[in-house]
A and B are shown apart, each in its own frame.
Chain A
Amino acid sequence: MNGRRLGLRKRLALNIFSDLYRAKAAEHRLDTLFWECTLRCNLSCRHCGSDCRTEPAVPDMPLADFLRVLDEEVTPHVDPAEVLVVFSGGEVLLRDDLEEAGAEVARRGYAWGMVTNGMALTAARLRTLRDAGLATVSLSLDGFEAEHNYVRRNPRSYDRALDALRLIVREQGLTYDVVTCVTAPLVPQLEAFRDMLVAEGVRSWRLFTIFPAGRAAADATLRLGDADFRRLLDFIRRTRKEGRIAASYACEGFLGGYEAEVRDHFYQCAAGVSVASVRVDGAISGCTSIRADYHQGNIYTDSFWDVWEHRFEPFRNREWARRGACAECRMFRYCLGGGMHLRDGEGELLQCHYHRL
């Protein structure tokens, strides 16, 4: 099957969805706010998009600075119950004041969650985090021991992540998913890995592939060939039909004939449309996947809300992306040039998912 082929029914639905997305971009309602609270990390993963380090050049942002933004710039303009605050890093568990941060965010009425590699998660730490209002968590697990430890460059990382997984799955009322970076060695083992996750009680699984940014840009061993990429999407489609685990492909990339079959929704890039980030150095951006030098302002020199309201036009109107390979592509009306994080410093597309199908 040609993975690009769109039937009439799906094409009609995509047209409808495109109109709805335009309305969403015009509305520009914030529903997710990232706080990149640290770039410190206890791992040095081969695929890290943040290029984190054990001792990064940028220190952690003081909690008080982020709370000031929440109190003075965000809360007056939103219903906190409708905005999800996500702590990201680096590895967030390295912050000793994570519980305090979570409790302060929850006290203001926001739900909060975190992304973790699980290395530092213990039963006691999970308890204190839950007491601080932790509502949702994403745990990285990149395959069985060999694949995971290779990507994570730490011989203990798989065992620690598996321990963390078991804690999270057992925790009543905690929303979670497992996030897997699919590398070529994992592709032939996807069925077995899925069965392992199901046996562990995992119900929600998000899979993504490497995009050439950060440390991953220099490591060709991490990327999937086009045939493996299609095999991955076929696997996700089959797994969703089976229904034992809610598998989905990550947000990035328009997927042609696979649209609405490997995700719960049609492709859209929410960065800067409904998602904003406060980076560790105070930079205000759309999404933490976007390269660190692309930002719209800084909390230390600008009003966050003013930036959100007036400087996110490149996110909301993507006509500027109609260039290069996208200039004549008939799919542009559906993909708007792909995810913002897939654009380099000159605005050129690093990778087109559709053309890989």
Chain B
Amino acid sequence: MNRKWKLALAALLGFSTACSTVKNAPRRDAAEGGERIEQRDSLRIMVMYGVPTPRPERLDAQQQQQQREASEVADPAVGERAGER
């Protein structure tokens, strides 16, 4: 039985969340031009001294910050313009 069937069966039994490693909603893969829907395996088990998985919006904000920093490195004027606002 393949993985999809197993997950479907778990859902029928009422344990879809507990069984699945696919907890987040599918996201668009920007690298594929936003067309492909990527199935994410993202249930991270929080181990004893672990921390909760950051919320996606926080990760998105971090990525945006990194992109801003990268563009500033590539074009210092971008950062200066942002600083003028």
Show the binding face of A for B, using Cβ within 8 Å. 9-10, 12-13, 16-17, 19-20, 23-24, 29, 31-32, 34, 49, 81-82, 84, 86, 88, 106-107, 109, 111, 113-115, 133, 135-138, 173-177, 204, 206, 208, 250-252, 259-260, 263-266, 268, 270-271, 274-275, 287-289, 339, 341
Chain A residues with CB under 8 Å of B82's CB are none
State whether A270 touches B59 (Cβ < 8 A): no
Contact between B49 and A88, CB atoms less than 8 A apart: yes
What DSSP secondary structure best describes chain A's contact surface? Answer: mixed
Chain A residues near B14: list those with CB within 8 A.
9, 13
Give Cα A80 to B54, complex, Å.
14
By secondary structure, the B interface counts as loop
Q: Which residues of B contact A88 (CB under 8 A)?
A: 49
Q: Whole-angstrom distance between the alpha carbons of A138 and B54 in the complex?
A: 11
Query: B66, A107: Cβ atoms under 8 Å?
Result: yes
Residues B13 and A20 in contact, CB atoms below 8 Å apart: no
Cα of A288 to Cα of B45 in the assembled complex, Å: 14
B43 proximity list for chain A (CB < 8 A):
265
B contact residues vs A (CB 8 Å cutoff): 1, 3, 6-7, 9-10, 13-15, 17-21, 41-55, 57-59, 61-63, 65-66, 69
Q: Can you identify 29 A-B contacts, CB atoms within 8 angstroms? A: A12-B9, A13-B18, A16-B7, A16-B19, A17-B18, A20-B21, A31-B42, A81-B59, A106-B65, A107-B66, A115-B51, A133-B62, A135-B54, A135-B59, A136-B54, A137-B51, A138-B52, A175-B55, A176-B52, A204-B52, A251-B45, A251-B46, A263-B18, A265-B18, A271-B47, A275-B45, A289-B47, A289-B49, A339-B48
- Collect the chain A residues with CB atoms within 8 Å of residue B63's CB: 81, 109
Residue of B nearest to A110 (CB): B62
Contacts of B66 in A (CB 8 A): 106-107, 109
Residues of B within 8 A of A208 (CB): 48
Q: Is the CB of B49 within 8 A of A266?
A: no
Contacting residue for A106 out of B7, B19, B48, B62, CB 8 A: B62
For A287, the chain B residues whose CB sits under 8 A away are 47-49
Q: Smallest CB-CB separation from A88: which chain B residue?
A: B49
A84 to chain B, nearest CB (A): 6
A58–B19 Cα distance when bound, in Å, is: 41
Residues of A within 8 A of B42 (CB): 31, 82
